[in-house]
Chains A and B, each alone.
Chain A
Amino acid sequence: MDLERPLPTPITPECRPYWDGAREGKLMITKCRACGKPFMYPRVSCPFCASRDIGWVQASGRGRLYSFEIAHQILNKAFKVKTPVVLAMVELEEGPRLLSNLVGIAPDPKQIRCDMPVEVCFEKLTDEISLPMFRPAGGAR
């Protein structure tokens, strides 16, 4: 099958629950059971308190567009989505930030604003992999 994007590679054991969740349409994030703070990327020790007691929770999928760019060219040859593409940093309402793409809006810096509310959506790449993406909250325009 001809994929438009590089698949997440390699899926490390520590991040497996994130990708298992995404396949089922759930945005899973890690959370420290000791200090209660959620964080991403997944790791075995809490970056806030160094506790090793880490669990997974489902995020609401809501957040704000912390920053963005509009890519007119992509260096990675395995990325074949037609440009321009909106590259995004999203801050989840739980706190952690993720890199993603902003979809459902024209790739125009006059229309896209930092801090605009966004919500997760998923793009199925294969039977195994769905990729969390974000769109303006309240559905695509």
Chain B
Amino acid sequence: MSDLARLRELSNTVCIVGVDESDEIGTVPGKSQLTLHVEAITNAARDAGIKVSDIDGIFTAGQHSPATIGEAIGVVPRYVDGTTVGGCSFIIMAGHAMVALYHGLCDVAVVCHGESGRSGVGVSPRRDTALPGQFEFPYGFGGAPTYFGLITTRHMHEYGTTLEQWAQVAVSTRKWAALNPKARNREPLTVKDVLDSRPVVWPFNILNICLVTDAGGAVILTRADRAKDCAKKPVYVRGAGEGSEHVMLTQMRNLTFSEATRRSGEKAFAMAGVKPTDFDHIMLYDAFTSGPPLMLEALGLAKRGEGVHFFAEGRSTPGGKLPINTNGGGLSYTHSGMYGIFPIIEATRQLRSECGARQVPNTKLSLVNGMGGMLSAAGTLVLSNDGGR
């Protein structure tokens, strides 16, 4: 069997059957991140019409190991995965769950997240800082904006992209947030507002940077045959891909083109049998306004340097031809730290036509793409609401 045939065999074999956030998202100082995590799982199980005890595969990233989550929900899992490569880990793990389900290593998988990113309740950071401690922190680096700004400045140098164009991404995303009752920031926003907001790390002002919130989210998956018995219309995983290039930004081969994202997208599109131009709904991890345009370029939807045009021309906004980040994104809806679970939740809701005022009419094929770190890792999902190829 060819490599492509092996990939294609996985396509549409597994469905997303349940999605939800924690009871509350935003500023939730009264709950530990483990509580946010468990709330999301129980809510997603209810959405799927399954019992929590049906879950036998646990996929999670960040500070909680899948063992912690199994213990907390009273499940002895048959399969665990704790791949942690940044915020896109949940997108990658939806692909891992697909493989495990396909091979019968588990029957009902949960991909889940809980993070008290704003309030810091139950948080205990611990990571290996030997290299950044020597080569980055003495210079004032630390915190995502001090790295992603370097990517952004170089893009402006190579392609002539402007601060106004980055601001358009925030403006477009806010228009969607205005339609989402769960979004944190919903008031109208202009390019001038973004350009006049508080400078943080040039080329970023505060409105170029995502929110910091408390939130949990969970996604339940099962094989397509079993999905038909669940509460809601199944959403098919038509393609999945992942990539990982670097951690330290000095090691990124081309600062303006994410190799991890390119590889992730190519694999997902090949599995799904789709072209980059086939989508009618797109979710892109927006920790910074410059992230989504660079992802469009690496995924092959836009030429290099031209990703910003999707936002400047209004294609991405409500009523536009190619809606992007319809939940309001990490920029305006929520961003707990590892945002990757939330674009999967929104794409699923759009494909189920559950989105009320922000519903994109006739959505059939959705692209979910996220980054880990500074475009260091990537995960891509191609989701559809029919099982056809």
Contacts and interface: CB of A to CB of B under 8 A. Distances in A.
B320 interface: no
B277 interface: no
A12 B250 contact: no
Given A12-B130, A70-B202, A98-B250, A76 B153 contact: no
Interface string A5-46: 111111110010011000000000000000000001100000
Contacts of A70: 201-202
B163 to A, nearest CB: 9
Interface of B: 130-131, 133-143, 146, 149-151, 153-154, 157, 199-204, 248-251, 255
A9 B133 contact: yes
Nearest to A115: B157
The 5 closest A-B pairs by CB, nearest first: A114-B157, A69-B149, A70-B202, A67-B154, A8-B134
A10 B133 contact: yes
Contacts, number: 116
Contact of A99 (B133, B141, B203): B141
A71 interface: yes
A96 B138 contact: no
A69 B135 contact: no
Contacts of B141: 87, 99
A97 B252 CA distance: 10
A87 B150 contact: yes
22 contacts: A5-B139, A7-B138, A8-B135, A8-B137, A9-B134, A10-B133, A12-B134, A18-B134, A40-B250, A41-B250, A69-B202, A69-B204, A71-B140, A72-B200, A79-B137, A85-B140, A87-B140, A87-B146, A96-B250, A98-B250, A114-B157, A131-B139
A87 B29 CA distance: 34
A1 interface: no
A47 B157 CA distance: 28
B135 A109 contact: no
A101 B135 CA distance: 11
A6 to B, nearest CB: 5
A81 B150 contact: no
Contacts of A140: none
B150 A67 contact: yes
Identify the interface centre among B140, B150, B203, B249: most chain A CB within 10 Å of its CB. Answer: B140
Contacts of B151: 67
B138 A68 contact: no
A28 B308 CA distance: 40
A111 interface: no
B201 A72 contact: yes
Given A67-B151, A87-B150, A89-B250, A99 B202 contact: no
Identify the interface centre among A7, A47, A88, A99: most chain B CB within 10 Å of its CB. Answer: A99
Contact of B199 (A47, A72, A76, A78): A72
A84 B134 CA distance: 22
Contacts of A75: 142-143, 146
B162 to A, nearest CB: 12
B93 to A, nearest CB: 27
Contacts of A73: 200-201
Contacts of A84: 202
A74 interface: yes
B196 to A, nearest CB: 14
A99 B154 contact: no
Contacts of A122: none
Contact of B153 (A11, A40, A114): A114
Nearest to B131: A41
A100 B203 CA distance: 17
Contacts of B150: 66-69, 87, 89
B199 to A, nearest CB: 4
Contacts of A78: 137
Contacts of A11: 134
A98 B135 contact: yes
A131 B138 contact: yes
B135 A67 contact: no
B140 A81 contact: yes
Given A8-B138, A76-B142, A69 B203 contact: yes
B133 A8 contact: yes
B201 A87 contact: yes
Given A47-B251, A69-B153, A114-B157, 15 more contacts: A9-B133, A11-B134, A41-B131, A67-B151, A69-B146, A69-B150, A71-B140, A73-B200, A78-B137, A79-B140, A99-B136, A99-B139, A99-B250, A113-B157, A131-B138
